[in-house]
Amino acid sequence: MSEKPTAAFVLSLLGGIFILLGGVLYAVIGAYCGALIGALEPIAPGATWIGAWIFILMALGVIFGIIVIVGSIMIYQAEPNKVKIGSILVIVFSILSLFVAGYGGFFIGLILGLIGGILGLVWKPSAPPPPTRICPNCGAQIDASYNVCPYCGKVIPKAP
C-alpha cells in the first residue's frame, strides 16, 4: 500500500468541507428564519424557542463539519493509531451530520466522508525495508543477511 492514505484524506476533507458549508448555509438561513419566527412572539408565545432550536441544529452542522476536517487531517498524518481514530471520527460525524443541519453536506459530504473514513480504516502502512549493510570491499549496499557480496563476491564477516 502507499506511504500515506492520500485518497482517504482527500475524500474525508472534501466531505468535511461540504458538511461545513452545508452547516454554514443553513445557519445563515436558520438565523434569518429565527428572526422572522421571533417576530411572531406576540402572536405565538414560545415561537422564539423554535428559532433557537433551528440555530442550535445549524451550529451542530458547523461543528460536525469541523470535526470531520480535523479527522481527515489526523488521517493524513499516516500514524496507524491516528489514522484509525481520525477515520472513526470522520465516519461517526459524517453519519451524525445527516441528522442536523445541511443533511450531511447535501448528502455529498456524507457519502465522501463515509468513503474516506472507510478507506482510512482499511489502510495499512508500507512494510519497512529490510535491514541492509555496506560491503567493506566495494561499498555496495546489500541485504544484512548476505554473507557474500553479490556485486564483488567478497566474503563479508557477520556483524557483531
Q: Could you tell me the CA-to-CA distances from 48 to 27, 32, 41, 60, 62 in Å, in that order? A: 16, 12, 7, 19, 21
Both 155 and 91 in one domain: the answer is: no
Both 54 and 71 in one domain: the answer is: yes
pLDDT of residue 103: 79
Residue 19, domain member (yes or no): yes
Both 145 and 105 in one domain: the answer is: no
Range(s) of the domain holding residue 147: 130-160
Both 37 and 116 in one domain: the answer is: yes
Grid cell digits, residue 20: 461545513
- In this predicted model, what pLDDT tens digit does every residue of 62-110 receive, in sequence order? 999 999 999 999 999 989 999 999 999 999 999 999 988 677 788 999 9
The total number of structural domains in the chain stands at 2
Both 23 and 46 in one domain: the answer is: yes
* Vertex 102: Cα angle to 96 and 108 (nearest 5): 80
Residue 86, domain member (yes or no): yes
